[in-house]
Amino acid sequence: MEGYWKNIVEKYSILFRKLSINKPHQKSMKTSKMHQKLVLDTFEETKNDVIRKTGITPSDARISELLSDYLSENKIPFSSKSLRILYSSAIKNNPTEIKQPKIVDALCKYLNYENFVDYCTQNINTSVDNKSPTKIDGGFFKKNKFTVIAISIILFILLIGSSINQQRWMVWNNDHYIEVNFDLKKYDAGELKIYNERRIKYFKKIEANCEVEFFDKSGKVTIWYGKNLQGQLEIFTSLGLHPETGKTLKSITKYMIKKYFCQSYN
């Protein structure tokens, strides 16, 4: 037993020293750097995942929406705008701090780590500094320029066609999501979302009236609300982002029910 605890202490002592546990200022700086790297790694992984599935490089705004959706599905509301702000800070090599520990751990799990400690343990010596691309010999390309370009275009078209056909998509249709085929215009407009079976089944907009069951028998919230583009309040059957505005929906409260949806509610 003594040997077991000795191994545990030795395993984590290096991590604790590198994070400067006994030096608050240095600890803060180290944590900020690791948060910066975590944000950059998460955006890069999401971008690569979309490219693998669709053959299209997503914009930073699109990546933010996908990550916001992921967090919402894990019951951690965090707007795409907030994610874009974090990424903008990280990419400029500015101090980056994620104040909510549950968001930090959720992003670590998105990257297949157990938690932030696990992420730090495996990445503590990895630099977040931008690296210059490696130069390669361009002699072959110059001699076979047109052949290489032609082959690249053909492979690219085949890759996009194959990826798009395999990936499933959905769009918001009045009061629910429906599955649709890929549409480049809708994708560029941010209307097209990667297919999510739970959203298809459970995320609905419903009419607000006194007959709605706002809470289950145990008192747990079953309805969320938000304003549409016209500023009108709408209610939904699941936690998530408003399909029109992209803003995180809020849990219903008795105050909101009586004031806006059912004045006779008890």
Residue 181 within any structural domain of the chain: no
At residue 94, the pLDDT reads 84
DSSP label at residue 124:
T
Domain match, 218 and 108 both: no
Identify the domain containing residue 86 by its residue range: 2-123
Q: What is the pLDDT of residue 165?
A: 53
**114 shares its domain with 210:** no
Q: Which of 123, 152, 167 is the last residue of a domain?
A: 123
What are the residues whose beta carbons fall under 8 Å from the beta carbon of 87, sequence distance 6 or more?
39, 40, 43, 60, 63, 64
One domain for residues 17 and 107: yes
pTM for the predicted model, two decimal places: 0.46
- Three-state DSSP state, 194: strand
Neighbour count for residue 263 (Cβ, 10 Å): 9
Residue ending a domain, among 123, 145, 166, is: 123
The helix (run of H) or strand (run of E) holding residue 178 is strand 176-180
- Look at residue 83 and tell me if it is in a domain: yes
pLDDT at 211 (0 to 100): 93
The pLDDT of residue 49 is: 85
pLDDT given at position 119 = 87
- For residue 133, the model assigns a pLDDT of 40
Last residue of a domain, one of 105, 123, 141: 123
Q: Phi/psi at 138 (nearest 5 deg)? A: -95, 10
> Looking at the structure, do residues 28 and 118 belong to the same domain, yes or no?
yes
Number of domains, the chain: 2
Is residue 111, in this structure, part of any structural domain at all?
yes
Task: Give the residue ranges of the chain where pLDDT is below 70.
Answer: 1-29, 124-146, 148, 154-166
Ramachandran region of residue 190, left (φ > 0), alpha (ψ -120 to 50) or beta?
left
In a domain, 47, yes or no: yes
